[in-house]
Structure formats: C-alpha cells, structure tokens
Amino acid sequence: MLLNLLSNAVKFTERGGEITVASEMTEDGCLRISVADTGIGMVARDIPKAMSTFGQVDGALNRKYQGTGLGLPLVKSLAELHGGGLEIDSLIGVGTAATIWFPKERVVIGD
C-alpha cells in the first residue's frame, strides 16, 4: 500500500517538488500513514473517479501520466479489509495527501 502511494506521489510530482511520508498513532489507538506531495493535485470532484477501479482523471489515450487506474482502488480495498480506509485530500497545483488508516485492533506495538 505504501509503495503504491509513494509511486503515485513520484509520478505526479515534478522535479524539485517535495514528497513527505508521516505516521501517527491517534488518541484512540489507530495508525495513520500519510504520503503528501507537491504535485499536480486534483479537484475534489475528480477524487471519486481516481478511487474507482480503472478510473483515471485524464482518460485521453495520449495522456501525460501512464497507469492502469488500479493503484488507489487496491490501496483502498486492502485498507478496508483490515477495517481501515483511505482518505485523499488534494488541490490543483498544490498537491495531494493520501492517508491510509488502520483501527487499533490491527496495530501491533513492539516492546
């Protein structure tokens, strides 16, 4: 899941941009892992399309960014299988933050 989110961040961020990976344990014991970039971003109405199977914001045959449109749906499905989810926040020209989260029941804390 993390590899896919990182791959998307790299794909959609121009040279010189920034990609940040962060994690946190919430007060209720959930684990959140975020990948944020300063890439091209999306408008809010396009996020559901990007999250749908084979959905791509730019569906043109000659589009600049290649891919199958399976990455985000797979990440979302895998997170949901663990009782968590995937959240996307994005703004055109500002970037995108993708956050996967897992409930406390799926979090193992080592000694």
pLDDT for res 70: 75
Say if 111 falls within a structural domain.
Answer: no
Q: How far is CA 50 from each of CA 41, 59, 90, rounded to the nearest angstrom?
A: 11, 11, 11
45-102 confidence digits (pLDDT tens): 888 888 776 555 554 444 454 555 678 889 999 999 999 999 999 999 999 999 999 9
Contact of 57 with 67, CB cutoff 8 Å: no
- Structural domain range at position 66: 2-106
Domain count, the chain: 1
CATH of the domain at 37: 3.30.565.10
Query: 37 lies in a domain?
Result: yes
pLDDT of residue 1: 95
Q: What's the whole-model pTM score?
A: 0.81
Within a domain: 62:
yes
| pLDDT tens digits along 15-51 | 999 999 999 999 999 999 999 999 999 888 888 888 7
What is the predicted pLDDT for the residue at 64? 54
Tell me the H-state helices in 1-97.
2-11, 47-51, 71-81
Considering only CA atoms, which of 34, 45, 39 is closest in space to residue 97? 34
